[in-house]
Amino acid sequence: MVGVSDETPDSPEPAAEPAGPQAAAATAPPPRKRLTLLLSVAAVVWVLDVITKIAAVHYLTPGQPVSIIGDTVTWTLVRNSGAAFSMATGYTWVLTLVATGVVVGIIWMGRRLVSPWWALGLGMILGGALGNLVDRFFRSPGPLRGHVVDFLSIGWWPVFNVADPAVVGGAILLVVLSLFGFDFDAPARRKAEPDPEPQT
């Protein structure tokens, strides 16, 4: 009579955990959370920009600077038809279309975001772009040609608003992240070092 063995078959071993950048991507927070961070940062920048512009239009008079620190830092109300820091004046409708494309592109990228730093940088750019787009669409002389409200003057620097440094600061942050190998849809883009060959 054949005896039945008491030994049970070995249970399958658990699959090995992914290592390297793949493991970091697997454990990264869901993109939805990063999109929420992006939109939150954009909302803060946009609200600050809108409120400060309304206050500037209400309390300041064009051509009459108000001193903050002598003549170096002043409140100076200016209507700007150009880009950030009064650049590219005369191309208002082109700048409006470009800014609209930037907003659409950032929202599209936001669906795949993993890096919180990219979410911060893109949120700053999105908030600033939306702030100036509101002026482009709703201020005189008309839609797509509206002049942006600028109100802060520092030394020789062109007059600017809250949206301008937010856009520039966000762009600088994204450049730094790219230089250090961080991508918007992965925690890091560093290449894994090849395994050393065994010595014989």
- Domain tally, the chain: 1
In the prediction, which pLDDT does 142 show?
A: 77
Residue in 6, 10, 135, 150 annotated catalytic: 150
In the prediction, which pLDDT does 121 show?
A: 95
pLDDT tens digits along 56-73? 999 999 989 999 999 899
Q: E strands of 109-173, at which residues?
A: 148-154
CA 191 – CA 200 distance, rounded (Å): 27
Residue in 6, 10, 135, 164 annotated catalytic: 164
Q: Is residue 95 part of a domain?
A: yes
Q: Which domain holds residue 125?
A: 34-63+90-145+162-180
In the prediction, which pLDDT does 166 show?
A: 95
Clarify whether 49 is annotated catalytic: no
Q: Is residue 8 part of a domain?
A: no
Q: Is residue 117 part of a domain?
A: yes
What is the C-alpha end-to-end distance of the chain, expressed in Å?
Answer: 52
Confidence of residue 119 (pLDDT cuts 50, 70, 90): very high
Looking at the DSSP assignment, which residues form a beta bridge with residue 153? 74
Clarify whether 164 is annotated catalytic: yes
DSSP state of 37: H
Q: Is residue 6 part of a domain?
A: no
HSE-CB of 168 using CA atoms within 13 angstroms: 10
Sequence-separated (6 or more) residues with CB below 8 Å from residue 26? 18
Please report, rounded to a whole number, the percentage of residues in the chain having pLDDT higher than 90.
40
Exposed, middle or buried, 46 (CB in 10 Å: 0-12/13-18/19+)? buried
Q: Does the pLDDT of residue 77 top 80, yes or no?
A: yes
Q: Does the pLDDT of residue 198 top 80, yes or no?
A: no
Rounded to a whole number, what is the largest CA-CA distance in the chain? Answer: 110
Could you give the C-alpha distances from 101 to 133, 138, 145, 184, in angstroms and in order?
11, 18, 16, 18
Q: Is residue 122 part of a domain?
A: yes
In the prediction, which pLDDT does 93 show?
A: 61
Q: Is residue 118 part of a domain?
A: yes
Q: Is residue 7 part of a domain?
A: no
Helix (H, G, I), strand (E, B) or coil at 124: helix
pLDDT tens digits along 161-173? 999 999 999 999 9
> Which tops the pLDDT comparison, 118 or 136?
118
In the prediction, which pLDDT does 23 show?
A: 47
- Stretch 76-97: mean pLDDT, rounded? 66
Q: Is residue 197 part of a domain?
A: no
- H/E element holding 116? helix 116-138
Sequence-separated (6 or more) residues with CB below 8 Å from residue 141? 147
CA 80 – CA 136 distance, rounded (Å): 10
